[in-house]
C-alpha cells in the first residue's frame, strides 16, 4: 500500500490508474479505524479495481470547544488494517497541505440541509465537511466514494453537494456496523468508560423501541420521540439529549406524521462523549 502525503503525488497516482482504465473507489476517513470503516473498504474493493483511503483529521469541521486535539490518532494501526483489506493507496496529507499555511478563504456550503439535526448544535461543522470532501474529490478523482449510514445527515448533504456541483462521483452509503450488543461502531466509543459504555446502550434500546412502536402502528413522531426520551433517561439518567427527531429521508425536515420512509435520528452525550445513531423505517 502506497502512503501518499502530497496533493501532487496523489493526483499523479490517480491519473495513472485512470489512464490504465481502472475504476477507483474512495473511502475518506479521519483515522482511528474500526470494522465500520473496513466494511466501506470491502465494499469499495468489491465494486472497483483500486481502493484509495484517506486519513485526515479535518480541523475545519471541529468547533472551538470540540475534540480536535484529542481526537484519536492511530496511524500505524490504521495502515495495518487498510493493507490487510487490500487498500491500494492511503492519502495522508497534513492540514497545511490541504489548506495552505494561511488557511482557506474558500468554502463549500449547502443550504437548508445543515439546518437540522447535528447542524443545530454544530453550526460550522458541515461547511468543513463539504469543503474537505469537495477538495478530496478534486484531488483523488474517484469513480465512487463510500460513506456510512451512521452519519446520515452527512451522507445526505454530500449527495446533494455532489449533484449540485456536478462531481462525476457515485456516492455509496453503506449500512451501520454495530457491535454485538447493538452499539453503533464509532471512533469516539473509545472515549467511554466501562460504565458509560453500558449506559450508551440506552441509545440502541430507544431506537429499537421506536421501531417496535412503529411496527405496532404508531405513526406520530411526537409519541415516538417522547417514548425514546423516557427510554434513554431510564437507562442513562445523566445523559444529555441534544436531539431526537423523526425526519424526511431526503430533506431532513421534521415530520408531523409518518406516511412513508422516515429516519429516526438522535444525538446524545454520555459523560463527555457525543454519540449519534439512527434507523430508517419504511
Cβ-proximal residues to 276 (8 Å cutoff; 6+ apart), any chain: 118, 150, 151, 184, 186, 265, 266, 267
The helix/strand/coil state of 230 is helix
Helices and strands in the chain: count of H runs, count of E runs: 9, 9
Cβ-proximal residues to 99 (8 Å cutoff; 6+ apart), any chain: 59, 60
Interhelix angle 75-84/35-47, nearest 10 degrees: 40
**Rounded to an integer, what distance in angstroms lies between the CA atom of residue 114 and that of residue 153?**
8
Query: DSSP character for 89?
Result: E
Q: Which of 117, 114, 2 is nearest to 51 (CA)?
A: 2
Given 37, 116, 125, 143, which residue is catalytic?
37
Measured in degrees and rounded to the nearest 5, phi and psi for residue 52 equal -115, 130
Cβ-proximal residues to 262 (8 Å cutoff; 6+ apart), any chain: 221, 246, 247, 248, 249, 255, 280, 281
- Does residue 37 have an active-site annotation? yes
Beta bridge partners of 29: 55
Residues noted as catalytic: 37
Amino acid at each position: 500500500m502506497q502512503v501518499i502525503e502530497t496533493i501532487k503525488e496523489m493526483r499523479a497516482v490517480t491519473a495513472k490508474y485512470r489512464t490504465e482504465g481502472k475504476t477507483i473507489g474512495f473511502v475518506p476517513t479521519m483515522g482511528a479505524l474500526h470494522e465500520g470503516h473496513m466494511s466501506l473498504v470491502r465494499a469499495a474493493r468489491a465494486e472497483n479495481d483500486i481502493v484509495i483511503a484517506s486519513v485526515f483529521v479535518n480541523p475545519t469541521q471541529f468547533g472551538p470547544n470540540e475534540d480536535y486535539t484529542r481526537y484519536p490518532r492511530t496511524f500505524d494501526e490504521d495502515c495495518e488494517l487498510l493493507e490487510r483489506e487490500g487498500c491500494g493507496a492511503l492519502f495522508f496529507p497534513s492540514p497545511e497541505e490541504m489548506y495552505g499555511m494561511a488557511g482557506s478563504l474558500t468554502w463549500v456550503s449547502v443550504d437548508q440541509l445543515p439546518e437540522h439535526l447535528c447542524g443545530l448544535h454544530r453550526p460550522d461543522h458541515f461547511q468543513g465537511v463539504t469543503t474537505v470532501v469537495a477538495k478530496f474529490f478534486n484531488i483523488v478523482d474517484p469513480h465512487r466514494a463510500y460513506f456510512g449510514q451512521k452519519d446520515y445527515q452527512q451522507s445526505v448533504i454530500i449527495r446533494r453537494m455532489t449533484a449540485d456541483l456536478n462531481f462525476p462521483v457515485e456516492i455509496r452509503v453503506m449500512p451501520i456496523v454495530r457491535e454485538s450488543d447493538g452499539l453503533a461502531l464509532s471512533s469516539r466509543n473509545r472515549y467511554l468508560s466501562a460504565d458509560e459504555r453500558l449506559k450508551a446502550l440506552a441509545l440502541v434500546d430507544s431506537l429499537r423501541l421506536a421501531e417496535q412502536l412503529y411496527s405496532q402502528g404508531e405513526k406520530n413522531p411526537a409519541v415516538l420521540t417522547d417514548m425514546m426520551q423516557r427510554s434513554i433517561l431510564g437507562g442513562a439518567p445523566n445523559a444529555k439529549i441534544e436531539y431526537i427527531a423523526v425526519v424526511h429521508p431526503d430533506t431532513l425536515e421534521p415530520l408531523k406524521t409518518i406516511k412513508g420512509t422516515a429516519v429516526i435520528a438522535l444525538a446524545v452525550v454520555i459523560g463527555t462523549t457525543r454519540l449519534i445513531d439512527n434507523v430508517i423505517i419504511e
